[in-house]
Amino acid sequence: MKWDEVSNQQCSVARSSSVLGDRWTLLILSDCFLGVRNFDQFQERLEIPRTTLANRLQKLELHDVIYRKLYQTNPDRFEYRLTDKGRDLYPVLSTILNWGDKYYSDEAGPPILRQHVSCGHDIQPVLQCPECEEVVDAHNVHARTRPQYGSYPDVKRGPILRRG
Amino acid sequence: MKWDEVSNQQCSVARSSSVLGDRWTLLILSDCFLGVRNFDQFQERLEIPRTTLANRLQKLELHDVIYRKLYQTNPDRFEYRLTDKGRDLYPVLSTILNWGDKYYSDEAGPPILRQHVSCGHDIQPVLQCPECEEVVDAHNVHARTRPQYGSYPDVKRGPILRRG
DNA sequence: CGACAAAGTCCATTTTTCAGACTAACTATA
DNA sequence: TATAGTTAGTCTGAAAAATGGACTTTGTCG
């Protein structure tokens, strides 16, 4: 399959991956959440090729994850900011951070600490069930394909069934 | 910067991205969580080029995210399974799924439903504070660079400070 | 014996990425 | 008024990675 066909799949991970799934995008977004807004600042911090950075920012803007805000005229200059849709990626970045902290920290611990403003604790946010508040992991969740809906085609790539 | 240098950075997102950040890896892992284990099954479901799939599986094995389990001899054949480290990526995939469900569902709703086994509800897990149980989002968390530790170099790419 | 299966490898072509130089449109400095 | 600096890109040729399809290997099945 060609890469630009991936997003047509009936799969939320596929559609998300077509936006997020490359070398640099997650890092760019991470910097967005850390407050980076300008082209050169992204470029210097990430040491990303300028061409690649320009392409990525354009793509993220196209997908409404970031937007360009005019902050100067003559010449017009823009800064890049997260949209609401982009800010909704915080849980993704946060769980990636958790994973990296767990498996790739050095002796000095996680490089970046996160304080929950509401309660003051340094935390690693966890995934919980919104109904019963229990912490959720892979074994606790059972995936199933949605029922047939009107004339919509069947969902491919559903869960594999195994005899219990 | 070359891609294989990204993982040397002192940043958990960078280190994680060096494993997860490409076109196919998230999709492969998604299939792992859905129970896919065999080479051809990955290949058919994802329509990924066989060469690329072989490379990705090798890389994921190298990073101890999946392992190969012998399931037949003469000829030896292996299936691919998540390690504990791989299973710890469930929150990442789950939050990506949430985001895709929110922004890319069609009229028929999310393609795959997730039931919390413990309480029976169909859910989208949410990120919460392990200390105070509050739901966490970008505005609720304050990132800061860790303090200097022994002879470790300063953390680059920390949060940008702005006047309040 | 011929077809089929699973898990790859090989190869030629196309697409992306990379590093670094260059451009445009100003502002600040000497 | 020249000169340098700033910001946000674009252009370019070389290197690396992805792609699609055929091929290989080591068996089993009918």
Q: Copy the structure tokens of residue A49.
A: 């090729």
Q: For residues A13 and B96, what is the distance between their CA atoms, to the nearest angstrom?
A: 6
Listed by number, the residues of chain A in 103-132 with a beta carbon closer than 8 Å to a beta carbon of chain B are: 103-119, 121, 123-132
Q: Over the stretch A80-112, which tens digit does the pLDDT of each residue have?
A: 999 999 999 999 999 999 999 999 999 999 999
Judge contact between A137 and B48, C-beta under 8 A.
no
Per-residue pLDDT of chain B (164 residues; tens, 9 = 90+): 888 888 888 999 999 999 999 999 999 999 999 999 999 999 999 999 999 999 999 999 999 999 999 998 888 899 999 999 999 999 999 999 999 999 999 999 999 999 999 999 999 999 999 999 999 999 999 999 999 888 888 899 999 987 54
The predicted structure's pLDDT at residue A162:
75
How far, in Å, CA of B42 to CA of B77, rounded?
A: 15
Cα gap B162→A81, rounded to integer Å: 15
Does the distance separating the beta carbons of B97 and A88 come in below 8 Å?
Answer: no
Question: Which pair of structure tokens corresponds to residue A68?
Answer: 């360009």
Q: Would you tell me how many other CB atoms lie within 10 Å of the CB of residue B84?
A: 8
Is A49 near strand C, with its CB below 7 A from some atom of it? yes
Q: Which residues pair with A77 in a beta bridge?
A: A72
> What are residue A114's phi and psi, to 5 degrees?
-125, 125
Left, alpha or beta for B72 (phi > 0: left; psi -120 to 50: alpha)? beta
Residue ranges, chain A, pLDDT below 70: 163-164
What is the pLDDT at residue A37? 97
Q: Does B87 touch chain A (CB under 8 A)?
A: yes
Do residues B56 and B24 lie in contact, with contact meaning Cβ atoms separated by under 8 Å?
yes
**Contact B135/A116 with Cβ under 8 angstroms?**
no
